[in-house]
Structure formats: C-alpha cells, structure tokens
Structure 1
Amino acid sequence: MSRIKSSSRYQTAMVTGASSGIGRAVTRRLVGEGLRVHAVDRDAEALRNLARECDVETIVIDLQDTSGLADLFKNEEIDIVVNNAGTLPGTGTFGERPETDIDLLLDINLRAPLHISHMALQGMVERKRGHLFFLGSSAGRYPHPNCAGYSAAKAGISMFCDALRCDLLGSAVRVTEIAPGRVQTHFYRTALGDATAKEKLYDGYRPIQPEHIAELIGRAMTMPDYVDVSRIEVFPTDQAAGGSHIVRYEE
C-alpha cells in the first residue's frame, strides 16, 4: 500500500490502545495524514484486523510493563506519541472496589504515559520536533461519582501535562491534553458489560464519537509550530461538565 505524503513536518507516530475506539480512530486519521504509525495494543487479533484496514506497524504489549517499547524509541524517530490507552476495571465507591484496582488504574492510566513520554522526549528534544498527546478525561478535571481512582489518575495526567510544558519551553516539543466527556466506545465494557453500557450510557443520548477526538488531534498537530493547543475539553452538547450530568435529547 502506498503512503500519502505527510501534510506536516511530522513523519512517524505511535498510538497506544490503537485497536479500538478512540485509538483506532486516531490511528486511521494519522495514517490518512500520511504518517507512518506504530499501533500499540495488547489485543493481537484486533491489531491484525486494524492492519488489514490501514497501513500500520503493530506492537503487541501490555502497558503494565512499558519496557518493551524502549527499542522503538532508540531505533525510530517518533514525532508524535498519542497516549490513549486507558482502563476502568469497575465502578463504585472507592471503598467498595477491590484494592487491586488501584495498581491497575495507575499503571495503565498514569504510569504508562509517563514512562512512554520519558522514552520519547530525549529524541524529540534533540531533534527540536515532537508532539505528545494525552487522552485525559472530564473525570480528571471535575468530580465524578463512583470513579475516584480513575479520576485521580486522570487528574495526574492533567497536571503532568501542565508541568511538562514548563520543562519543555524552548524545545519546540508540544504537549496537548484532550479531556473529553462521554465518548461512545467500548471503554466501559469491563466495568459494566457491553449491553449495560449501551443501555445506561448511550441509548437515547448523543455522545461524542471517536472520530471527533481524532479530528481534534489532527487539527492540533497541523497547527503552525509556534502554536501549541495545550488542552481541549470537549463535551456532548447535552452534558454538563460538573458531576457528569447528561440528558437525553428530545426533538
């Protein structure tokens, strides 16, 4: 498959959680922009399906241990990193959830993006070229019930982005956090199951679609080099930011 010539000075990208939902939409968007994309996920079969649809290089890895990505950053000039992979093992009050949730939530939602960013930054700073994207959440910006551990991890991502921009001043490396409200993906299937998630979260509502997030990332990365879209909070029109309040739309 021939590649489209990239429309920006960025040539190579890596996307985590690339096999479904937002990660899949972002991967397809970046390929469409002409970038060479390394698609990272733990689901080997889903990655194979993605590779049949678009020209990507797949990496199967569980991000509770990111060390397997070290060679990629040593051997490749990665211009864009999209830290998209996330997990929510269950919902409920913090005291009700098993203690094992804590490490899983922090490993995937916070530690992995920090480790990956650390691997990426040396090359980006040396080349004076790079863009780090982080999928945050409205839960990291505003209090949401029944997901305190997840909120803590996403709040950590949000503050990390702010502090990292301070560290990177003068390097030309950009940092963008995307903090969405309700997006229609399979993210809640572990916590609620597909059928329950569809009934409680999506049926009758007008949630954001993964392609909308991909569009925002596409726009941010193609802004002039001296423009850094630092944070985008994006919600369904029918959702208020505080407390995750969303209503069903009626004609």
Structure 2
Amino acid sequence: MKKTILITGATSGFGKACAEHFAVQGWQLILTGRRTGRLEQLQQQLGEAVLTTMTLDVRDREQVFAKLGSLTDVDVLLNNAGLALGLEPSWAVDIDDWETMVDTNIKGLMYCTRALLPQMVSRDSGHIVNIGSTAGSWPYPGGNVYGGTKAFVKQFSRNLRSDLLGSKVRVTNVAPGMAESEFSNVRFKGDIEQAAKVYQGTEALRPEDIAETVFWIVNRPAHVNINVIEMMPVDQAWGPFAIHRHDK
C-alpha cells in the first residue's frame, strides 16, 4: 500500500522539495498552499503522485477544518507552512508582521495538527513532522517573534508526543539553520539583493537536504520516534557571547 503525506506550504522551498522527493519515492501526495497557480504547476510536474491539491491559508481556522478535518488515511502530516518577516529590533518592528508570523507559524500549525490528528489516533498510526528552526533554540538580533514562534514549535512537538504516549503516532521537530530558498526573499519582502546577502560567501543548506532528512525520519522502524533533528550547514555555528562594552 502506498503511503500518503500531506504537505502544507508545498509551493516553494522545503515544501516543494519534499513533494518532489516523496513523489520520486512512490508516495501519494496531498499538497496545500496559498498560490493556486503554483499548486497546479506542481501537480502537472508530479503527475499521478498527487492525489489532490488544496488552495489553503493555514491561518484560516474554518477553512483548515473544513478541508482537512474529513481526510482519512493520511500517514504523515508535514507542517511546513511558515515564514519570517523583517529583522527590525523589537521596538521598531511592524506589529502586523509579528501577528502574521504568530498566525502562520503557531496558529496555522495548531489548526492543521488538530484537524488531522484524530484520524491518526483512531488508526493508531501516523506521523506529525513539524518544521521548526534553530531560531527556536538560539536567539539572534531581529529574531524576536520569529524565534518565539519556532520555540513554540519545539515545545508543542514535545507536548504532542507526551499526549500520544501509549499510541503509535509519532512526532518530530525538524530544526534547520541557514537554508537558501525563498525564505529570505519573503523575510525582506521581495528585496532580492538584501536576501542574497544572507547567503553570500557560504554554502547554505538546500531544500533538498531538508527533504531527504524528512524522508529518512518517517521511514524509521515503527518503534522508533525521532524527537528532534537540528541541522546547520558547516558554514554556520555558534558565536561567543555578545557583550556590550561602554565607552569610558
């Protein structure tokens, strides 16, 4: 029996790479995203591997439950939809950007999980894979609410697994570091030049790296749960503690 994965935010970046990788491996795909045109293009590209596509904004609770709540036999939910907006300090940020990140990265993930988890529990089978970030563990200037939302993803994943103890439903948090995709284009609101500077002189993670990792995670033996994978390119690491020195 072919397995089925539902991928949110499937039209670009990690989501698109995962769709392509799982299709090649013989999985059936349910793909969601906000951009109908891109979903149609992806469906044409991947052909019969795509069971269906759904134009879906994960921030819309009623829409999520209407479209996902009746689904059955979904083996894997990949909560990939998410974004970062801006790098301004917390006192200068656009509050709308904060709310968009909270609504997408936290509420959207909650809605999709709550809509699909009951059918997994009733079958005693399934896997929730949440795309977090190293920003959920390690702060950086301008990360403020984005990092907070990804810290939520980390802790929510842990608590889901605690709830599911005694069942065979698995939960994993995948926390990538610097990865080159449309992520920075979105963060800097279409400023391609500024986005490119993020990766200048580095070999960042690629969406394909995350896709291969997710595929490995969901194909572990049924008794194995991968709690979290944190991954960075070798060109990224942690720095010394930041210290502000006063002029005398």
TM-score (norm 2): 0.90
Does residue 51 of the first structure (1) align with residue 43 of the second (2)?
yes
Q: Is the 8 A contact 1:130 1:172 kept in 2?
A: yes
Shift of 1:235: 0.3
Please name the residue that 1:21 is paired with: 13
AA matched with 2:150: K
Q: Cα deviations across residues 56-106 of structure 1 (Å, max 9, x unaligned)?
A: 221112222042232433143211100011122211111111111222111
Match for residue 73 of structure 1 among 57, 69, 76: 69
Counterpart CA distance in 2 for 1:13 and 1:168 is 20
With over 3 angstroms needed to count, the CA separation of the structure-2 counterparts of 1:75 and 1:135, relative to structure 1, is closer
More off after superposition, 82-91 vs 63-72: 63-72
Does residue 146 of the first structure (1) align with residue 138 of the second (2)?
no
Counterpart CA distance in 2 for 1:156 and 1:191 is 19
Please name the residue that 1:61 is paired with: 56
Counterpart CA distance in 2 for 1:171 and 1:165 is 9
Does residue 236 of the first structure (1) align with residue 233 of the second (2)?
yes
Counterpart CA distance in 2 for 1:242 and 1:175 is 30
Look up the SS of the partner of 1:124 in the other structure.
helix
Counterpart CA distance in 1 for 2:122 and 2:36 is 33
Structure 2 runs not aligned, ≥5 long: 241-248
Look up the SS of the partner of 2:69 in the other structure.
helix
Please name the residue that 2:215 is paired with: 218
Counterpart CA distance in 2 for 1:214 and 1:75 is 24
Does residue 106 of the first structure (1) align with residue 90 of the second (2)?
no
Q: Cα deviations across residues 31-64 of structure 1 (Å, max 9, x unaligned)?
A: 2222221111101111111112103221112222
AA matched with 1:194: I
Q: Percent identity among equivalent residues?
A: 32
Please name the residue that 2:115 is paired with: 119
Counterpart CA distance in 2 for 1:107 and 1:186 is 19
Please name the residue that 1:195 is paired with: 193
Does residue 206 of the first structure (1) align with residue 197 of the second (2)?
no
Shift of 1:123: 0.7
With over 3 angstroms needed to count, the CA separation of the structure-2 counterparts of 1:241 and 1:118, relative to structure 1, is farther
With over 3 angstroms needed to count, the CA separation of the structure-2 counterparts of 1:143 and 1:130, relative to structure 1, is same
With over 3 angstroms needed to count, the CA separation of the structure-2 counterparts of 1:74 and 1:138, relative to structure 1, is same
| TM-align CA RMSD | 1.6
Shift of 1:242: 5.6
Please name the residue that 1:92 is paired with: 88
Does residue 160 of the first structure (1) align with residue 152 of the second (2)?
no
Structure 1 runs not aligned, ≥5 long: 244-251
Q: Is the 8 A contact 2:11 2:38 kept in 1?
A: yes
Look up the SS of the partner of 1:176 in the other structure.
strand
Counterpart CA distance in 1 for 2:239 and 2:58 is 30
With over 3 angstroms needed to count, the CA separation of the structure-2 counterparts of 1:39 and 1:16, relative to structure 1, is same
Q: Is the 8 A contact 1:181 1:241 kept in 2?
A: no
Shift of 1:189: 1.1
Q: Cα deviations across residues 140-166 of structure 1 (Å, max 9, x unaligned)?
A: 011111020101110011011111111
Please name the residue that 1:36 is paired with: 28
Does residue 173 of the first structure (1) align with residue 165 of the second (2)?
no
Between the two proteins, the alignment pairs up a number of residues equal to 235
Counterpart CA distance in 1 for 2:100 and 2:239 is 26
TM-score (norm 1): 0.89
Match for residue 131 of structure 1 among 127, 133, 140: 127
